[in-house]
Structure 1
Amino acid sequence: MTKKEINKEIKFTKEQIINCNKFNTIEKDILEALLEDKEYSLDEAKKIIEDFNKKEVK
């Protein structure tokens, strides 16, 4: 099993993701606003940030 496969399987709570050092302050603010109270993998959290950044400003 590769390191990437292991990271996909591990899930974290919203609080754990927001408090980890893998995201910068702006990304943490985005996650704070968008994540629900359930568990996410780091890849899922990164995808949420990417999707948010691709949205058009109205």
Structure 2
Amino acid sequence: MAKNEINQELRFTKEQIINSSKFNRIEKDILKALLENKEYSLDEAKKIIDDFNKKEVK
């Protein structure tokens, strides 16, 4: 395995992330609304959820 392959994060489609058991129902609803139709790493998806939760309610 090449060194670049080891450092590369696994990426998933929006559909794969939403169907993952890594997220609860509320997190999946947030991701359904915010993710675009491209690939994300799990860390990116978690960051999107965290950023959403930190927003101030108006």
TM range (shorter): 0.7 to 0.9
**Superposition misfits of 4+ residues, deviation over 2 angstroms:** none
Unaligned runs of 5+ in 2: 1-5
The structure having more radius of gyration, on CA atoms, is: 2
CA RMSD of aligned residues (A): 1.1
- For 1:3, the equivalent position in structure 2 comes to none
CA distance in 2, matches of 1:42, 1:24: 14
Unaligned runs of 5+ in 1: 1-5
Opposite residue 21 of structure 1, the aligned amino acid is: S
Structure 1 length-normalised TM: 0.86
In terms of fraction of residues, the more helix-rich structure is: 1
Structure 2 length-normalised TM: 0.86
Identity %: 83
Tell me the CA shift for residue 25 of structure 1.
0.2
